[in-house]
Amino acid sequence: MKEFARWMVSIDRRIIFLLIALATLLPLLHPFGLPIKVSPEVRGVYDYIESLPEGSVFLLSLDFDPSSKPELEPQAIALLRHAFRKQLRVIGMTHWLPGTGLADSIFSKVATEMKRESGKDYVFLGWSPGTGSLVISMGQDLYKAFPSDYAKKPTLGMPVLEGVRNLRDVTYLISLAAGNPGIEMWYVFGKDKYRFEMGGGSTGVMAPGLYPFLRSGQINGLIGGLQGAAEYETLIGQKGTAVAGMDAQSADHFVIIALVLLCNVFYFVLRGDKGRLA
Amino acid sequence: MIFFKRQLPLLITGIMGVAFALQYYIPHPVSEEAITHISKWMQIISGFALVLGLASLFQVHAVKIKRQVPGWGYSVILYLAMLVTMAVGLFWSKGETTMNGAQTGFGWIYSYTMVPLQATMFSILAFFIASAAYRAFRARTREAAVLLVAAVIVMMGRVPLGQFLLPWTWDVTQWLLNVVNSAVRRAILIGVSMGAVALSLKIILGYERSYLGGGKDQ
């Protein structure tokens, strides 16, 4: 038994890699489609957007780069679909320079799908340097911060921005963040001074760190990781890549749990052989 | 010279620090105009940081190639990738990712190399996390055992399969995240924020001078 335990503890890591690969691939090829439960955190964002009147100004800041695409792109797509369906005026931007092209493609893709027009129904402002100072600049005068949009069209006079002078005229802002600059930065430099309502979305790793902001009401909802995106897709009734990916994530979690439990069983079997443990 | 290297920066820092701490509480048009201008200046200065970063990256890797340190081949690849991307972006694509609805060469490099490469790098983490968890996540002490149990419950409660097999893990996960996790995170945040306030005061009052850099005049 001890020999087997010793062999298992020092198992070739490529076997673990293979198990994870299978746990990811098989559910993607043969999904088992379990129901998605919606958390109050995600419902907070959905309910607030649902309560907004037509024509309200919704700013979506896609603060991530391609490395977080699998988790945050489905969140962005679901939020945009919801906002466009509710006939909100959408302003898009990013604080992450490497994510600008990705953010632009997300906006273009969903706008085409929902038959929305750039400049009239939405505008993608792109990226500008400064992070915190950019937010202050937008809070003072949006047109000085972004004289033109990502497609180099002048922002002043755009129908989508009618009546919008600065961040005080934004009804709701959501930052989908993979780190800093992101939700905290938007709160500190933006919401605290310019008084708009704010929600957040983040990668699964970051989400637990944002719960104090949620509990204190500094953000009114939080979409966490792929699970959060799947919950939002369920709420809007339009399933996408997040719901499809949750089966793979379920299987991966179970493989990791099984590995951790096995490792502990072998650890207890070998507890006496301290010097011989790997 | 010491005035320009030491006293003047300290004076500017002190005055600007106090002025913009007060500005937050003064909604007068003059004060609002000042913050509008200063925020624009700050944006411009942040733009220069990009140029500095690029120059520094070029310099670090040039030294590695010149000295042929272990792994210098990767520096050559980095140089080539940067130069090719810059050349395609500046000369063939005029800095645009799309032109007349079609993707440019620069857009192609972004969409078909950078996006998949970054996503691949991040997704590889799942394999290493699984391997590391298998080898290192052991209940050696009571505290480690508590962490282990909490982690297993949260991992089950955050996925549909766990919620389906053990429905109670959903409620326990929500409680762990909203109560235990929030309390701990809040304590960390308050500690970090108080540290930031103390450091800001030290910088404004001139006690913390490391940002001025070294040198014999310091």
User: CA of B1, closest CA in chain A: separation in Å?
Assistant: 31
Nearest to A95 by CA among A160, A186, A223, A195: A186
Cα–Cα–Cα angle for B208, B211, B217, nearest 5°?
Answer: 90
Nearest to A160 by CA among A45, A58, A50: A58
Tell me which CATH code domain A40-245 carries: 3.40.50
Per-residue confidence (pLDDT) for residue B216, from 0 to 100: 52
Average pLDDT over residues A62-84: 96
Residue from B104, B134, B185 whose CB has the most chain A CBs within 10 Å, to mutate: B134
The answer for A 122-151 residues in CB contact with B (under 8 A) is 128-131, 133-134, 136-137, 140-141, 144-145
List chain A domain ranges. 40-245
Reported ipTM: 0.87
Q: Order of strands across the sheet with A89-94?
A: A122-127, A89-94, A57-63, A172-177, A197-202, A222-224
Q: What is the C-alpha to C-alpha distance for residues A73 and A58, in angstroms, rounded to an integer?
A: 18
User: CA of B126, closest CA in chain A: separation in Å?
Assistant: 8
Average pLDDT over residues B164-188: 95
Q: A36: which DSSP letter?
A: P
| A251 touching chain B per CB within 8 A | yes
Q: Which pTM was predicted? A: 0.90
Q: What is the C-alpha to C-alpha distance for residues A129 and A96, in angstroms, rounded to an integer?
A: 9
pLDDT digits (tens, 9 = 90+) for A138-175: 999 999 999 999 999 999 999 999 999 999 999 999 99
Residue A271 above 80 pLDDT? no
List chain B domain ranges. 70-136, 137-209
DSSP A95-112: S-GGGHHHHHHHHHHHHH
Contact check, Cβ <8 Å, B158/A129: no
Rg of chain B taking only CA atoms, in angstroms: 26
Q: What is the C-alpha to C-alpha distance for residues B151 and A261, in angstroms, rounded to an integer?
A: 11
Question: Measured between beta carbons, which residues in chain A are less than 8 angstroms from residue B47?
Answer: 129-130
Cα–Cα–Cα angle for A23, A25, A31, nearest 5°?
Answer: 90
DSSP A177-240: ESSSSSHHHHIIIIIHHH--EEEEEE-TTTGGGGHHHHHTTSSS-EEEHHHHHHHHHHHHT---
Average pLDDT over residues A107-118: 95
Question: Measured between beta carbons, which residues in chain A are less than 8 angstroms from residue B42?
Answer: 130, 133
Per-residue confidence (pLDDT) for residue A66, from 0 to 100: 93
Rg of chain A taking only CA atoms, in angstroms: 22
pLDDT digits (tens, 9 = 90+) for A217-228: 999 999 999 999
> Is the CA virtual torsion A178, A184, A185, A190 positive or negative?
positive
Q: Regarding beta strands B102-103 and A57-63, do their DSSP bridges make them parallel or antiparallel, or are they unpaired? A: unpaired
In this complex, which of B107, B148, B177 lies closest to A208 when CB atoms are compared? B177
Contact check, Cβ <8 Å, B39/A36: no
Instruction: Determine how many CB atoms are found less than 10 A away from the CB of residue A220.
Output: 18
pLDDT digits (tens, 9 = 90+) for A166-194: 999 999 999 999 999 999 999 999 998 89
| A118 touching chain B per CB within 8 A | no
Average pLDDT over residues B133-142: 86
Residue B218 pLDDT class (50, 70, 90 cuts): very low
- Helices B182-204 and B8-23 pack at an angle, to 10 degrees, of 130
Cα–Cα–Cα angle for A59, A159, A63, nearest 5°?
Answer: 20
